[in-house]
Amino acid sequence: MTPGEAFLPIERDLQRFKEIVRGEVKKRAREFLTREELFGQVEGRLVSIPLPQLEIPKIVYGEPLGEGLGLGGPGDEALGPGGHIPVAELELEEFLDLVGEALRLPRLRPKGEGEVTEEAFRYTTLARKGPRGLRHVRRTLKESLKRALLSGEYRPEVPLLVPEPEDLRYKAPKKKPRPHAQAVVLFALDVSGSMREEELRLVKTLSFWITLWIKRHFPKLERRYLLHDAEAWEVSEEEFFKAREGGGTRLSSALLLAEEILKAYPEAFYNRYLYHFSDGENWQGDTPLALEALKRLLPSLALYGYAQVEGPYGRGQFFEELAEALGGQEGLALAEVRGREDLPRALRQLLGG
């Protein structure tokens, strides 16, 4: 509503509708987890959610009527019972908050002060020109008073002030630096064999939501991706999600490369998130190396999330080994994922909840 316009009675109905929508979204939060297609790209601002359950059912025909020739095809809504499926449009932030609330996702707290990155406008100064709406009445009258006193026009018994154009003062914006917390998230994926389409989908869904949730808290988020088998190498986002096969596994290779990549994001200015997806089957002898690398890295991270994605071919040991060595350490998040039904829990665990 534009300012100055009267409060419309229908706002009451709108608020109630939004309340119902919010309730419905929360109710269906789990279902949304596996439906990325609803959100298009991460950068999109509005999320459209069809909510057929909010439609008031009526006895209607089961097929569109009146097809034929140029007399009006189906799908035009000028006539006949126009059943619009209610569509809720939510800001991505609001939507995430609702899903987060329903799934009890933890709030992420910024670690450092963050870098000064943004300049915000604050109306803290005055100007001689400006829009009428920003006119500063007190200051204008003060100028007017000064002028009247100087020219001797001012008579205390009739304290009438008539501002001249040169007296006018307006509120004016000034740039103010605002500290802005930033973050980087690095996803590492073990491609040594046992990840199939299905497990890869789980990884994709998890990393999608992890990214959204971190972005919700740190709008300035950078993303990096790396793959590894016995060696680790950095890849683009698209490449990350392509299925492939690899050789053996050395989890330490990923951690060492991660350490290298993260050097570009100093701990003092960045909240650093590292996520590692693996089937947990590490080469014998590599585990101590991996644990050592992790011990070194962990204090500088906001969170290290390890997700063990388990296919039908048994499971690895790294989850246990990690839990034994570093369990309970701050900044360590562990989750085991076997299928879709684990997603809400895994997501919560991986975000430190």
Partner 1 sequence: MKALLPWIETLRERAQAEGLTFPPVLFEEVGPEEMAMLAAYGGFPRRYPHWRWGSEYLRYRETYRYGLARIYELVVNTVPVQAYLLKGNTLLAQKLVIAHVYAHADFFHNNLAFKPIPKDMLSEMAHHAAYVERAMERHGARSVEEFLDLVLSLENLIDPHAPYIQRPQEEEVPKPQDRLRVRPYLDPYVNPPPEPPKEAEEGAKPQALPPRPTRDILGFLARYAPLAPWQKGILEIIREESLYFAPQAATKILNEGWATYWHTRLLLPLLTPKEAVDFAEMQAGLLAPHGLNPYRLGYLLLKEVEERWDKGRFGPEYEALPLGERLRYERPTGEGQKKLFQVRTVYTDLNFLEEFLTPEFALRHRLVSPEELPRFAEAKKALLFRLTNAGYPIVELVDANYQNRGELLLVHTYEGVELDLRKTKAVLENLHRLWGRPVHLKTVVNGKETLLSAG
Two tokens, residue 220: 């300035």
Among 63, 197, 238, 330, binds partner 1 (CB under 8 A): 63
Rg of the chain over all Cα atoms, to the nearest angstrom:
29
Residue 22 beta carbon to partner 1: minimum distance, rounded to whole angstroms:
12
Distances (CA, A) of 151 to 144, 157, 275: 11, 16, 73
Cα-based distances in Å from 58 to 20, 26, 35, 236: 20, 26, 29, 50
Which of 3, 43, 45, 78 touches partner 1 by CB under 8 A?
Answer: 78
Residue 254 near residue 232 (C-beta atoms within 8 A): yes
Given the complex with partner 1, which of 13 and 118 has the nearer CB atom?
Answer: 13
- Among positions 45, 58, 155, 263, the unique one binding partner 1 when judged by CB under 8 A: 58
Helix axes 197-217, 92-102, angle to 10 degrees: 110
The answer to whether residues 302 and 183 touch, using CB atoms and an 8 Å cutoff, is yes
Site for partner 1 contains 3 (CB under 8 A): no
To the nearest 10°, the Cα dihedral for 276, 282, 285, 286?
A: -20
Q: Give min distance, CB of 79 to partner 1, in A.
A: 6
Identified binder of partner 1 from the candidate list 37, 41, 43, 71, rule CB under 8 A: 71
Residue 54 binds partner 1 (CB under 8 A): yes
Q: For 36, which DSSP code?
A: G
Query: Site for partner 1 (CB under 8 A): which residue of 5, 43, 166, 324?
Result: 5
If one asks whether residue 73 binds partner 1 (CB under 8 A), the answer comes out as: yes
Instruction: Give yes or no for residue 18 binding partner 1 (CB under 8 A).
Output: yes
Q: Which of 135, 144, 143, 138 lies closest to 171 in space, CA to CA? A: 135
Q: Shortest Cβ distance from residue 278 to partner 1 (Å)? A: 44
Q: Which of 37, 43, 79, 330 binds partner 1 (CB under 8 A)?
A: 79
Binding site for partner 1 (CB under 8 A): 1-2, 5, 8-10, 12-18, 20, 54, 56-63, 65-73, 75-76, 78-81, 84, 86, 89
